[in-house]
Amino acid sequence: MRLFRRVTALSAALAVAAALGPAAHAAGAGAPKKVRTIVSLTFDDGDSTHPAVARMLEKYGMRGTFYVNTDTVGGEEKLTRRGLAAIAKAGHEIGGHTLTHVRLTELARGEQEPQICDDRRKLVSWGYRPVTLAYPFGAVDSDAMAVARRCGYDAARGVGGLREWSCPTCPGAESFRPKNRYDIRTPGSVREDTLLRHMRQQVLNAERTGGLLPLVFHRVCDDCGLYSVTPRRLNDFLGWLKDRRSRGTVVKPLKDAIGARHRPLPPADDPATAQG
Ligand SMILES: [Zn+2]
């Protein structure tokens, strides 16, 4: 058993090293010897500001994860199909966020299924390969986790559970092999009152132990609501974050950080899908 654990730990370390790949060598003398911390920048709700966000990340050689509600695509202040395609084409991860941004914990399991499965089906029909899901409002229960798995997601992101001002005793980072793959922890969402130093501190907290730090963003614009960050603040944060590479901290889409695999959709007429 002990040997097995050791082998597992070793293969996890090798997987991380392999995932870092040629980019680490290309980075030259300043490259870290070893990745200790992976930051995943996740952006929820398929917002119209996200194509510009994707380009900002690209400027720093970073790729993020964009969670989309397929029924809202093309709506007011939302991504267009074209905008979404541009983000995906640049190498960012596209993930599911339910059809209409519902609070899953208020739905019966039978109502959760179409919200999660049909949303993923639609993304697949648009040509994407969604492997991770984000629960709207971070609202999750055991039914939602089971449905996420049934719909073929290999992992899912919650909101909260990692260290922040409201939870000083929470761990600073999630494991690269999260204890619960269907409720991956994060600090609370970045909001308009989250300062640059708060974001930096979350990275420093994660670096203390090493591990995965998924950060949750929504809109990126000036004076556009509580769940927003200004382009300037995000840009300053990314500039600082890029230099953490020398400390073994890199940025990756969530699916790559945890090695999420593509799993097939359940058949649309599967009777289990229709069960209440
Ligand atoms: Zn959301």
How far away, in angstroms, is 81 Cα from ligand 1 center?
A: 18
Residue spans per domain, the chain: 35-259
Structural element, H or E, at residue 126: none
How far away, in angstroms, is 58 Cα from ligand 1 center?
A: 23
Ranges 63-67, 106-110, 268-272, most confident? 63-67
pLDDT of residue 270: 56
How far away, in angstroms, is 3 Cα from ligand 1 center?
A: 42
Mean pLDDT (whole number) for 183-197 = 97
Task: Indicate the fold that domain 35-259 takes in CATH.
Answer: TIM Barrel (3.20.20)
The region of weakest confidence among 16-25, 202-211, 265-274 is 16-25
- Within 10 angstroms of residue 169's Cβ, the number of other Cβ atoms is 5
How far away, in angstroms, is 5 Cα from ligand 1 center?
A: 37
Question: HSE of 67 in the Cβ direction (CA atoms, 13 Å)?
Answer: 33
- Within 10 angstroms of residue 71's Cβ, the number of other Cβ atoms is 17
How far away, in angstroms, is 92 Cα from ligand 1 center?
A: 18
- Residue 251 near residue 27, CB atoms below 8 Å: no
Q: pLDDT of 147-174, one tens digit each?
A: 999 999 999 999 999 999 889 999 999 9
pLDDT of residue 26: 41
The region of weakest confidence among 13-22, 108-117, 160-169 is 13-22
Residue 28: pLDDT over 80 = no
How far away, in angstroms, is 225 Cα from ligand 1 center?
A: 14
How far away, in angstroms, is 45 Cα from ligand 1 center?
A: 5
How far away, in angstroms, is 73 Cα from ligand 1 center?
A: 13
Strands of 26-176 (E only): list them. 37-44, 65-68, 93-96, 132-134, 155-161
Q: Which whole-number Å values give the CA distances from 43 to 28, 55, 114, 172, 189, in the listed order?
A: 30, 13, 23, 20, 10
Q: Provide the greatest CA pair distance for the chain.
A: 58
Cα separation, 179 vs 74, whole angstroms = 36
How far away, in angstroms, is 101 Cα from ligand 1 center?
A: 6
Which of 196, 156, 209 has its CA nearest to residue 42?
156
How far away, in angstroms, is 44 Cα from ligand 1 center?
A: 5
| Amino acid letter, residue 63 | R
DSSP 116: I
pLDDT of residue 267: 85
Summary mean pLDDT of the chain: 89
% of the chain beyond a pLDDT of 90: 82
Model's pTM, two decimal places? 0.86
pLDDT bin (cut points 50, 70, 90) of residue 76 is: very high
What percent of the chain is helix, strand and coil (3-state, nearest 5)? 45, 15, 40
How far away, in angstroms, is 69 Cα from ligand 1 center?
A: 8
List of residues 6+ apart from 243 with CB closer than 8 A:
none
Structural element, H or E, at residue 213: strand 211-217
Q: At 110, is the secondary structure helix, strand, or coil?
A: helix
pLDDT bin (cut points 50, 70, 90) of residue 20 is: very low
